Amino acid sequence: MMRRLHYHRVDVFTDRAFGGNPLAVFTNGRGVEAETMQAIAKEFNLAETTFVLPPRDPRHDWRVRIFTPVRELPMAGHPTVGTSFVLAREHLVRRDAEETTITLEEGVGPVPVRIEFKDGEPAFAEMSQPLPTFGPRLSDARAIAGMLSLDARDLDESLPFEVVSCGVPFLYVPLRSLDAARRARPRADLFENALGGVVPPEVFLFTREVEHPGSTVHSRMFAPGLGITEDPATGGASGPLGCYLVRHGLVACDTSARIVSEQGIEMGRPSFIKIRIERDGDRITAVKVGGQCHFMGEGFIEI
């Protein structure tokens, strides 16, 4: 017997159509096997597709499973923000105040999400991410540059090539210029050799030269190992990015810092990700990532 599954399509980290990172959200994932969820994510071929389930802990609001075209993720930023927006839009969370906070169960554990409303509709969502872990670093600038189709002089070797994770690890590669960021092209055939199997195959590039005056950094993310040649907006990498910038003194942060990462511009999908980092002395105490969403439509698939 065929089953119809209802989905919503949203663009995340943007306020307009065809910007940000597209996402498909299935608000009723009850009874759908993990293998089927993975097959649906591959069919949609978006960076991620999410499935909403009842929470395992009654103190939480919903459980969310997140799939790329090739595997399930324990946590991801734009799926968390976009799924929360859809839940609010569909009246599946409280909407009786100017803002509300919900808790989603993901692979990394409970994830709080704060949702702001304007004229009764969701206008902004901000997730809390796990506190960062730092480590290992790479030193071979020539190999890293080669896998990005760049020269070693395009990399800013005054800063470390460092892995940072707030649930999902990424390798952060600082670049000297906006021109270098625009010229970067991933060489999937060189990734394994350059990364040496000791760091994740998800590589995040950034430069402090920006296109938009309200931005702090200009970013790109390559993840060929996840089936994503390039991602237009990576919330899961933006929290660790903020932590990297704070740790290495690239943004001012006495007790808190507000950062805007512009991403997806080279793909024609401009995205603006808002990052908040809080710290006490040298210790980071909170990591928050948020943005706007634009509803694109809805439909059904039959399985």
Catalytic residues: 48
**The token pair that represents 125 in the structure block:** 């969502």
Q: Within 13 A of 133's CA, how many CA atoms are on the CB side?
A: 7
Amino acid at 40: I
| Alpha-carbon span 21 to 295, nearest angstrom | 12
Which residue has 């990591």 as its token pair?
A: 287
Phi/psi of residue 265, each to 5°? -65, -40
| Alpha-carbon span 90 to 122, nearest angstrom | 10
Instruction: Write the CA distances from 296 to 8, 21, 268, integer angstroms.
Output: 8, 12, 17
Residues whose CB is less than 8 angstroms from the CB of residue 124 and which lie 6 or more positions away in sequence, other chains included: 115, 116, 290, 291, 292
| Alpha-carbon span 266 to 181, nearest angstrom | 9
